Chains A and B, each alone.
Chain A
Amino acid sequence: MGVIYALVVMAIVLGSLNFQNNLGLLFGFFMAAVGLVAMHRCWFNLLALEAQVRPGPPVFAGVPAQFEVTLRNARDGARYDLRVLGGLDGVRPIHLEARDQRSVTVGVASERRGLLPLPEVEIETRHPMHLFRAWSYAASRAACLIYPRPAPQAPPAIQDAGGSRRPARSGGEGAEDFVGPRAYRYGDSPRHLDWKALARERGLVVKQFGGDQGLEVWIDWSALVVSDAERRIALLTRQVLDAAGSSLRFGLRLPGVEIELGHGESHTQRCLMELALFRHANGQGDTDRRAA
């Protein structure tokens, strides 16, 4: 719009100069002066605006990550028409009275697990007459945790594969309740083999039975036989979610990381965080992000 305004002013000033019309000239200059002042007002509207970026709650990859941008006006005058670009609330402009603050939510598409940083937030204003656009990038170190995208479905996690590393327990895999199937491992009792599954050519599957202290599962990196690491993490994530959904106590084993058996919201989040931030040996995908 500024260009159009400038053209109108130019036309007025040129026309008035030519016809030696002083009043036209005066008004043309007034419009030009208003434009000039508007330019400074525009810039001043952003000057010393304080912006704070806070990451929102962790989300699974694919769901937009949310950041909360708080704009604070430490000045004794109001600020108008502030727009935080990329916001999920659209770019509805906000205004800040003197010493006021307000927040907008900015959504960013998340594609990969790990930490999604929001290195800069663009704040713009066209105050007061939409002639000029002042913008500013507020640098931030805020990063939103992105959990891995869970696989649609995953094989059930193994029960009691900890062996000696597990704390002693009294019951063990006994004759109690059936918990679920898992892959056969060396040393399993043949009595627990699921012969019907074998007959259906689903390989050696063992029927698991729950212990007396409630059900415990280990979600284990090495229990899955999938070559692609990211796929393996997706499966593990699904397993964690499944386990969290049921009333199981579960633990997580990743190369170099082990989370004790536990249950509850914070335990689930801890497991998901480890999965999100896990760097595997061949360093695919996630490494560059974590180094950043």
Chain B
Amino acid sequence: MRTVKATPIDEQPERRQTIALILITALGYLPLVRYLSWQITAFLGLVLGLRLVAVRWPEASPGRFALLALTAVGGLNCWYVYQGLPGRAGGAALFVTMLGLKLLELRTRRDHRMVAMLLGFLVLVHFLFDQSGALTVYLALVMFAAIMLLVDLNGGLGDPGWRVPFRLSVRLGLEALPIAIALFVLFPRLSAPLWSLGLERQTGVTGMSDRLRHGSISELVINGDLAFRVRFDGPAPPESRLYWRGLVLWSVGESGWSPGPEPRLAPASEGLESAGEWIDYELVLEPSRQRWVFALDLPVAHPTDTALSADFQIVADRPVVAVKRFRIRSALQYRTHDPPERLRQLALGLPANVTERMRDLVAGWQGGSTSDWEVVQAALDFFHREPFVYTLLPPRVGANPTDAFLFETRSGFCEHYASSFALLMRIAGIPSRVILGYLGGEMNRISGRYMVWQSDAHAWVEVLIEGRGWVRIDPTSAVAPERVDNRSAARLLGAGAPVQFRLDAEGIFGRAIRQVRDLADSLDAAWQDWVLEYAVEDQRSLLDRLGLGAQGDRALVVLMIATLGLVLGVILVTLMRSDRHLDRLERSYDLFCRRLSRIGLGRHAWEGPRDYGRRVVSARPDLTTPVSQILSVYIRGRYSGDSSLREDRRLAQLVRRFRPRTRRR
């Protein structure tokens, strides 16, 4: 026996394997094209092209110096494009570049295997950018192809095609799936990151910003993205009451509104003076990279990892970088406490650029009213009566946008109305603040959830009325409906966004489109719920349901190991059973031999039925009749090739009755 292990002579890869690997890598990279700069894609394309040429003409493959040069170029390319490499895009670019370069020096099967395994890492890179269901399916196929290639690379499959590796990988995948799911469900999670590579840097996620400048909402309105989803525990309130409260802006400057200098995040101490019935719901927030959470006006109860401020904003402990679920309770009818004097003064602050025209306007209202509330009504009446136009494409205004809006252009949308209304109230001595959030929502008829889009962004005003607390006023709704210009919205949408159908259009087509969109959205929501956001809390609730909540992580680990053991055990038992697969005839014959071996006449491995019978009969002449009968039935059943004889059944009967005993002496 040689002890030195021989080097396998078949380490030379086949050409089709090399080509397959290059193709799989290209396919695996494809979705990243959207996220990485074109220079990276160009470089990778060059490398893969070079590699494909080298498959056809091996002498064209680059030598060591060319390879070194290419590596340098690739590295510099990444460096140049991403200005140093921090961030996920830079890291991904570097990884992809190096993977491509590795393809250039594929020699042995070992190199191929290495790259095929690293493709698994490429999949992870994708998920840093996009986590949609479609991409997941696509990448699952890429990974399957990589596994298939690994199986094929190992060789020894006999058939040279892709058929056998395909079958084997399907089997592997199907067996691995339950284990993967068990691991996924039960593996303990971290509730906070261990380290940070700066991967969560902002990359142009759209959402509300924390100040109101002219134009900041119109950017959102033309954005077709989802802001959040809501599922009400009970019946949903009417759509016109769905004011989703986000930010509260206290401070007004010359250019616009901002949250203000106050540490406004002091926890709500007093809460509400009174409230109507409660509404409980679950809100699934898309990543906004901000800390605030939107809630139905007004929130009264909030999740533990958030805080509720005195002005009823829900603020998460850390920025929402991934889809996150919140359980919130709100009251639609409420009465707030009067704020302390300090806040009252803050809500009366004025910018420097208040003009005489504004003061005159407000003074006119004050003259004809006896209370603050009447001033508010007069102001709303002003917006209704005067020719104000609602449009998403307001004309450009100069240095004092509020003045220009009120007296000259008179066209704008919610942010213009809300900010100018609040300012006018302050001039009148009525404390006011601007609220940023969303209005309305679209019900998904399949999942029963409400979808709130970025285009539902809205701004409104709260004024402090003696004896009533903060009261919500929506000045935009005061604009006469005939002056609402929807064409501008359509124009805006047409400018930058893909064509969108008017989903509220009636008719079969409109309804069909709506159905499709609802279906897609409910699939997406299920994906969100069960895959993307599965987290520590869900594991806890699973444990609770199993009655193991008190055990904590240990129960999780034990459960995980038990499940793994179970699944593997099932696989093994199935394997073993298939191993001892005997037909009925063979089973009966096996039983016959075992019964004989009990009386010391076991069959030798080399003995055929005839020889065996002869030996048994010569040792025990008294058994001649049954043994010869059984053997003749067996031989006929086994070798006649005629399955219609049903010998297996007869043999089973005969053997069942055959119970030889040890001879008494």
Contacts and interface: CB of A to CB of B under 8 A. Distances in A.
Majority SS at the chain B contact face: helix
B10 interface: yes
B151 A129 contact: yes
Interface in A1-55: 1, 4-5, 8-9, 11-12, 15-34, 36-38, 40-41, 44, 47-48
A1 B532 contact: no
A90 B6 contact: yes
Given A36-B176, A37-B179, 13 more contacts: A4-B113, A4-B117, A8-B121, A11-B121, A19-B128, A20-B322, A37-B172, A48-B579, A75-B581, A90-B10, A93-B155, A130-B109, A130-B113
Interface string A38-77: 1011001001100000000000000000000000000111
B531 A22 contact: yes
B158 interface: yes
Interface stretch (B184-192, B223-231, B348-356, B422-430): B184-192
B2 A30 contact: no
Contacts of A108: 1-2
B17 to A, nearest CB: 13
Interface residues of B, number: 67
Given A23-B136, A122-B1, A17 B189 contact: yes
Given A8-B120, A17-B190, A91-B6, A26 B531 contact: yes
Nearest to B173: A34
Interface string B90-110: 000000000000000000011
A128 interface: yes
B120 A31 contact: yes
B69 interface: no
Given A32-B180, A92-B9, A82 B124 contact: no
B1 A120 contact: yes
B334 interface: no
B175 interface: yes
Contacts of B184: 22, 25-26, 29
A234 to B, nearest CB: 26
A207 interface: no
A23 B131 contact: yes
Interface of B: 1-2, 5-6, 8-10, 109-110, 113-114, 117-118, 120-121, 123-124, 127-128, 131, 136, 139-140, 143, 147, 150-151, 153-158, 164, 168-169, 172-173, 175-177, 179-180, 183-184, 187, 189-190, 193-195, 199-200, 322, 531-535, 564, 568, 571-572, 575, 578-579, 581
Interface of A: 1, 4-5, 8-9, 11-12, 15-34, 36-38, 40-41, 44, 47-48, 75-78, 80-83, 85-86, 90-95, 97, 108, 118-122, 125-130
Nearest to B132: A23
B177 A33 contact: yes
Contacts of B5: 85
B154 A130 contact: yes
A79 B42 CA distance: 44
B118 A81 contact: no
Contacts of A25: 184, 187
Contacts of B535: 20, 22
A30 B531 contact: no
Contacts of B8: 83, 90-91
B183 A33 contact: yes
Given A108-B1, A130-B150, A81 B157 contact: yes
A91 B124 contact: no
A5 B109 CA distance: 15
A36 to B, nearest CB: 6
Given A26-B531, A40-B571, A130-B150, A8 B117 contact: yes
Contacts, number: 187
A20 B193 contact: yes
Most A C-beta atoms less than 10 A away, residue of B5, B147, B183, B571: B183
A13 to B, nearest CB: 8
Contacts of A19: 128, 193, 199-200
Given A9-B120, A17-B189, A37-B172, A22 B6 contact: no
B176 A30 contact: yes
A12 to B, nearest CB: 5
A186 B108 CA distance: 73
B318 to A, nearest CB: 12
A30 B140 CA distance: 10
26 contacts: A4-B117, A11-B121, A17-B190, A18-B193, A19-B199, A20-B189, A23-B127, A30-B177, A31-B120, A32-B179, A33-B177, A34-B147, A37-B176, A40-B568, A40-B572, A40-B575, A76-B581, A80-B164, A91-B6, A91-B10, A94-B156, A125-B156, A128-B154, A129-B147, A129-B154, A130-B113
B118 A8 contact: yes
Given A1-B110, A22-B532, A28 B124 contact: yes
Contacts of B127: 16, 21, 23-24, 27
A93 B11 CA distance: 11
B173 A127 contact: no
A38 B154 CA distance: 12
Contact of B578 (A1, A77, A82): A77
Nearest to A27: B123
A23 B131 CA distance: 7
Contacts of A24: 123-124, 127-128
Contacts of B6: 85-86, 90-91
Most A CB within 10 A of own CB, among B128, B147, B155, B189? B155
Contacts of A28: 120, 124
A36 B534 CA distance: 24
